[in-house]
Amino acid sequence: MSRESEAAVSWWRALQPDPERKRPGDRAALARLRRVSSVAEAMQEPATIALFRRIGAKGAEALPNVALLAAVLAHVREDVPTRSAARLVGPDDPDKPETAVMSPLRFRRLMEAREPDERLVAFRRMAALAGGRLPVRDLAETLLDWSEERRSRWVYEYWNAVGPAPQPYQSTPAEDIAP
């Protein structure tokens, strides 16, 4: 777990209302972030700037990813830290893609999204399809680093796949070898 993802979880929790602890959260900030139509709009929200500072981001080039993270996390209602986001929306059985919360086609679109606004739409859809129940830490790590390696990991997790099975070593006994 990275320091940035821990800071994002802390930021998300601070915004969430908690009636049991009589903590109001910041419903207004969540509502504004849920309504943004672009990452550029999310960058202008004070809550996004608070997240930027909290995770210790540096430089203007980091702000779009932080704004994307803020806008997506605003749609998460419940943290589900026990599984990855890709595994939560993937099919129970790779041979039965119809069991997926997020269809393989939508998942493919999410994997192909490169621009921040494309990712905003795709990840918001994922949050909606998951009923707002996603792992905040995993989303933070993913949205702050949407690399090829991360996308590959997501594909494996979505399909509940494991790496290729090792082939058994076939040895020929020495006595079976003809001279």
Tell me, what's the pLDDT at 171? 41
- Residue 78's contacts (CB-CB under 8 Å, 6 or more residues apart) are 132, 133, 134
For residue 103, which of 129, 133, 138 has the smallest C-alpha distance? 129
Direct distance between the N- and C-terminal alpha carbons of the chain, in angstroms, rounded to an integer: 59
Tell me, what's the pLDDT at 95? 87
Q: Consecutive sets of 10 residues in the chain, 179 residues long: mean pLDDT of each?
A: 91 92 91 98 98 95 97 97 95 91 97 96 98 98 95 95 54 47
Tell me, what's the pLDDT at 168? 52
Tell me, what's the pLDDT at 19? 80
Give 78's strand partners: 133
Tell me, what's the pLDDT at 21? 80
HEC string for 53-118: HHCCCCCHHHHHHHHHHHHHHCCCCEECCCCCHHHHHCCCCCCCHHHCCCCHHHHHHHHHCCCHHH
Please state which of the four CATH numbers 1.10.520.40, 3.40.50.150, 3.40.50.670, 1.10.1740.10 is assigned to the domain occupying 3-158.
1.10.520.40
Tell me, what's the pLDDT at 163? 53
Ranges of each domain in the chain: 3-158
- Residue 126's contacts (CB-CB under 8 Å, 6 or more residues apart) are 85, 89, 102, 106, 110, 134
Whether 55 contacts 7, CB under 8 Å:
yes
- What is the rounded CA–CA span in Å between residue 71 and residue 139? 12
Q: Which residue has the tokens 């995993």?
A: 138
The pTM (predicted TM-score) of the whole model is 0.87
